[in-house]
Amino acid sequence: MPFVGTRDVAADLAPLTVMPSLDTEALLLPDCRQLQIIYEIDETVMLDLIPPALHPTIPPTLIINVIAADEGPLGAFTLVLVRIGCRSGARPRGLTIQAVCDGSEAAAALATRWGFPIVEGDAQLMRNYDRIRATAAVDGEIVLDAELMNPEPINGQDILYLANLNVARVQRNGGEQVRLVQVDAEYVFKKADRGAPQLLEFDADAFNVPGCEPIWPVSASYTTVDINLPAIRYLVDPAKGPGDSVEKL
């Protein structure tokens, strides 16, 4: 039997982002900078981190994405996403449990239009000649400090960004439902680097992934990229099994 998650996200993750509508239009975020770091995590907690609608990846993975925009339709912001690698049916996805964003306009739009579960905090993405470093702090406490060491240029086609499944409360059909909101963004790569990943600080509890222990570095990449956030097309009912959980709008 395939493994499935056991987490009750409706009970376990309140309060969640509330989406008043699913009718958002696509939005282009030009010339973003994005750092992605992937680690294998302790397999003993892999089912505790995801709901019954999802399968874990084998080996289980932690995916950290840090997106920075210096300007654009949402203004300047830095968004730190912590995701758990998973599968919705056969399709690979990243379950977004908690995010930190330092731009209030962007945080509100990303939460209400695409369901990103955001808390506001301080976030930075900095490039030096020998490393790219990302940090995040909430209420003055550092919750993430991650680096890509010794960047080397590569082709952007070598990089894969998984679609998000964002845990949110969706207002629809006269009520409110807990759903995973699929955000399958499209990317146009302009520059790309890879290097060695390094996690200097990771507060699992702050990102609502208790017991998630990064144990083995997998990869790190850094890109300059146009990001097209889509209209919402799919939801996933987290409480149902993988075979009948997807809802097409």
**Residues 118/188, Cβ–Cβ less than 8 Å:** no
**Sequence-ordered strand ranges (E) for the chain:** 17-19, 27-41, 55-56, 61-69, 77-88, 91-101, 118-120, 122-127, 131-138, 141-153, 163-172, 175-183, 186-202, 214-229, 234-236, 246-248
- How does DSSP assign 28-55, residue by residue? EEEEEEEEEEEEEE-GGGTTTTS-TT-E
Range scoring the smallest mean pLDDT among 59-68, 119-128, 167-176, 184-193: 167-176
> For residue 14, is pLDDT > 80?
no
> For residue 15, what pLDDT is reported?
63
**Residues 201/156, Cβ–Cβ less than 8 Å:** no
Domains of the chain from N-terminus onward: 9-235 (2.40.400.10)
- B/e letters for 93-123, b = 16+ CB within 10 Å, e = fewer, are bbbbbbbbbbbeebbebbbbbbbbbbbbbbb
pLDDT, mean of residues 9-33: 87
Whose tokens are 């369901």? That residue is 115
> For residue 5, what pLDDT is reported?
94
List residues bridging with 234 in a β-sheet. Answer: 248
> For residue 10, what pLDDT is reported?
84
Picking from 29, 164, 197, 179, the residue whose alpha carbon sits closest to that of residue 93 is 164
pLDDT, mean of residues 122-126: 97
> For residue 16, what pLDDT is reported?
72
d(CA 120, CA 67): 14
> For residue 21, is pLDDT > 80?
yes
How confident is residue 243, by pLDDT bands cut at 50, 70 and 90? confident
Residue pLDDT, tens place only, 50-79: 999 999 999 999 999 999 999 999 999 999
> For residue 104, is pLDDT > 90?
no
> For residue 157, is pLDDT > 90?
no
